[in-house]
Amino acid sequence: MEVELLAWFAQHARDLPWRRTRDPYAILVSEVMLQQTQVERVVPRYLRWLERWPTTEALALAAPAEVIVEWQGLGYNRRALTLHRAVRQVTELGWPTDLTTLPGVGPYTAAALRNFAFGDDVLPRDVNVGRVERRTGHSFDGAAAQALMDLGATICLARIPRCSVCPLAEACPSRGTRDEPARRQSRFEGSFRQRRAAALRLVVTSPRAAEELDPDAVGSLERDGLVVVDHGVVRLPSEP
């Protein structure tokens, strides 16, 4: 199956900027941004981020407040701070052998770094890769990682798989099978996540009196290190 998959990928690969580098820092930025955020939204923000902070050393020198401001619009703002902490650790100590010791780096992100940056034969299994392997009943190696991601994102879709144009369909035992609907993510509109985001956007603009803001949202943001409350004024953190 690898031969057919890689031949398809050679013609249909998505042109994504993080595929043009082996720099572990750039790949880490892309992987953190891609967590729970669509590729189309990430691409311009990734390019802007690397233009502003092209190296680990550059980002390590940034204040947390700068990082939070630059992250606005990508959602799940805690990712910005964990990325910042991870990069500061790398700048001080180098890339660890066990990448999961870095803040915010779990098994999947570690596998992605090992494959895309360091060239190890490991397969990062995201939802799309896992779906293709489950449906085909085939275990792929690390060389097929990017191809599997594209196949799962564009052809081997969960609800309406495009089997008629799939390069693996002929040998796939699950051809035509649709997955049951996954549990839908809770709505953002009217949620506590929205309240947090709204409060943070106001503080990003300028420090605010605590009494002007949603107290529960501010408390949650403070616990996550995204804001500091000092003498009744809510502001972005200058340093951790």
**Is 212 one of the catalytic residues?**
no
DSSP 8-class letter at 206: S
Q: Which of 2, 4, 31, 189 is catalytic?
A: 31
Q: In whole angstroms, what is the distance from residue 18 CA to residue 22 CA?
A: 8
β-pairing verdict for 233-235 and 208-209: antiparallel
Other beta carbons less than 10 A from residue 199's beta carbon? 24
How many CB atoms are located within 10 Å of the residue 124 CB? 21
- What 3-state class would DSSP assign to 68? helix
Q: Could you tell me the two tokens for 153?
A: 């994102």
Q: Whose CA is closest to 110, among 224, 233, 24?
A: 24
| Active-site amino acid positions | 31
